[in-house]
């Protein structure tokens, strides 16, 4: 299995995203790799790390997600690889829920999203973004899933 981090999708991926898919919510699994230092295309000087620049994006995109009826489900630092092999680990794993693929498209095309997207590009060295559907579990809104408590 070849694994290659990217910051933007290729033409086939973009085309596929705009095709119809499963009805209902999608959960985007994000495997994120950050730059050591943020690098803004406009050349601005910054002392921000890539993770800090991405955090600026993440804080604002979280607000947009809630307005759409979605939300952040999970966000955690990658500690180590338990099973399998990859050349390099990601820094963070995150899952975001969108009420539909169309809602995600509308968010990404919005002026509000375009105003924050530069932080994402400045901070990310690359990522895998995996669309998932038909999630199981008890959904509690933007707070996430509730799992049964151990006895």
Q: What is the pTM for the complete model shown?
A: 0.81
Q: Encode pLDDT of 22-67 as tens digits.
A: 788 999 999 999 999 999 999 999 999 999 999 999 999 999 999 9
Q: Is the pLDDT of residue 19 over 80?
A: no
The top-level CATH class assigned to 25-146 is alpha beta
Q: Is the pLDDT of residue 149 over 60?
A: no
Question: Bridge-partner residues for 74, per DSSP?
Answer: 95
Can you give the residue ranges of every domain in the chain?
25-146
Secondary structure of the chain: what % helix, strand, coil (to 5)? 35, 25, 40
Q: Encode pLDDT of 118-130 as tens digits.
A: 999 999 999 999 9
Mean pLDDT taken over the chain: 86
Q: Is the pLDDT of residue 21 over 80?
A: no
Q: Encode pLDDT of 78-91 as tens digits.
A: 999 999 888 899 99
pLDDT score, position 16: 75
pLDDT score, position 77: 95
CA distance 19 to 15: 7
- The values of phi and psi at residue 138, to 5°, are -95, 110
Collapse the DSSP code of 82 into the 3-class scheme (helix H, G, I; strand E, B; otherwise coil) and give the result: coil
């Amino acid at each position: 299995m070849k694994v290659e981090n990217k910051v933007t999708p290729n033409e086939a991926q973009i085309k596929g995203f705009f095709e119809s898919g499963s009805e209902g919510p999608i959960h985007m699994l994000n495997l994120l790799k950050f730059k050591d230092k943020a690098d803004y295309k406009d050349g601005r000087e910054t002392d921000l790390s890539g993770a800090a620049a991405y955090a600026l994006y993440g804080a604002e995109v979280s607000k947009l997600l809630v307005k759409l009826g979605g939300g952040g489900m999970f966000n955690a630092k990658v500690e180590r690889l338990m099973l399998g092999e990859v050349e390099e680990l990601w820094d963070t794993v995150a899952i975001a829920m969108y009420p539909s693929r169309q809602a995600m498209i509308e968010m990404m095309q919005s002026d509000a999203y375009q105003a924050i997207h530069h932080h994402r590009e400045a901070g990310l060295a690359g990522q895998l973004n995996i669309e998932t559907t038909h999630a199981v579990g008890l959904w509690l809104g933007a707070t996430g899933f509730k799992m049964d408590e151990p006895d």
